[in-house]
Amino acid sequence: MHEHTSSRRRRLSVGTGTAALSLGLCLCAGQLISTQAASAATPVVTQQTATVAKVKPTIRDSVNTSSVAWGSKVRVTTKLINPKNGKVITYGRVRLQAYRNGKWQNWSSAAVGKNGTATIYAKPLVNGYFRTTYIASSGYTSATASRLYVKVKHSGAQILSEAKAHTGALYKFAAAGPKRFDCSGFTKYVYKKAAGKSLPHKANSQQHYGKAVSKGSKKVGDLIVFRSGSYGYHAAIYAGNGYMYDSPHTGARVGKHKIYGSNYVVRRMV
């Protein structure tokens, strides 16, 4: 009877343990302790952030002319290409830069169009280099094109602009600027400053410089020398529509005045 009981207890113990294990349970010191099922374990997730390298565009500049008259504009066109697939880049902005006084200066900017180009207009005024820079955007880094040289030709508009800049300067005999002028001192100063042209400080001598032009063909910026007979006694700069800029006489100031008389010669300096 004792052996039978012991055997029965052993079978019960073994059966209980088997059941406990199948349920993911553990019998320890007479206590039933739950263990986590393998299927319920929290998975370990590894997240990787992919970094996509930006592409540096191929950028090409062109200018509609390499030589322009002072006061006129040039057209700079920029073409942008993705070097990885050869397709044009159709978004972003391009900035125009000019090399002035030993450094690159930012000028205007324009958006890139659907055809992959940006067009910017500029008025140089002096000889120098231009270039464009693509401003970094989504998917692309910044890029800079090769520089382009533009030569500025002297023009009548340039001469007139310099003449206007001295409006109000008081007449002084034998003075040649920059604050006071007599008539030939004024024309001498303006042509030298604006176009690098050298003239003597005497109206009679100035009438022999530059290219002779008929009165009916005179243009803005031309030199006018009034004469008494064949002697030149007063010099001025043609301003268009029958007017001129000059330094008239003692007590007067540089300004725009009506052309008087008809005995004068016209000389084209630029």
pLDDT tens by residue, 62-113: 999 999 999 999 999 999 999 999 999 999 999 999 999 999 999 999 999 9
Give residue 1's pLDDT: 42
Inter-residue contact 234 to 183 (CB < 8 Å): yes
Q: Which helix (H) or strand (E) holds 185?
A: helix 183-195
Question: Strand, helix or coil at 239?
Answer: strand
Strand partners, 234: 226
Strand partners, 104: 99
Give residue 53's pLDDT: 86
Reply yes or no on whether the pLDDT at 214 is more than 90.
yes
| Neighbouring residues of 222: CB distance < 8 A, sequence distance ≥ 6 | 156, 213, 237, 238, 266, 267, 268, 269
| pLDDT confidence tier of residue 51, bands split at 50, 70 and 90 | low
pLDDT tens by residue, 112-148: 999 999 999 999 999 999 999 999 998 999 999 999 9
Closest CA to 71 of 192, 197, 162: 162
Closest CA to 66 of 153, 150, 122, 132: 150
Strand partners, 267: 212, 223
pLDDT tens by residue, 157-175: 999 999 999 999 999 999 9
Question: Strand, helix or coil at 13?
Answer: helix
Reply yes or no on whether the pLDDT at 265 is more than 70.
yes
| pLDDT confidence tier of residue 33, bands split at 50, 70 and 90 | very low
Tell me the one-letter amino acid at 185.
Answer: G
pLDDT over 70, % of the chain: 81
Tell me which of 6-15, 195-204, 253-262 is least confident: 6-15
User: Rounded CA gap, 93 and 113, in Å?
Assistant: 9
- Could you tell me the sign of the dihedral formed by the alpha carbons of 105, 106, 107, 112, in that order? positive
| pLDDT confidence tier of residue 236, bands split at 50, 70 and 90 | very high
Inter-residue contact 166 to 181 (CB < 8 Å): yes
User: Rounded CA gap, 211 and 218, in Å?
Assistant: 11
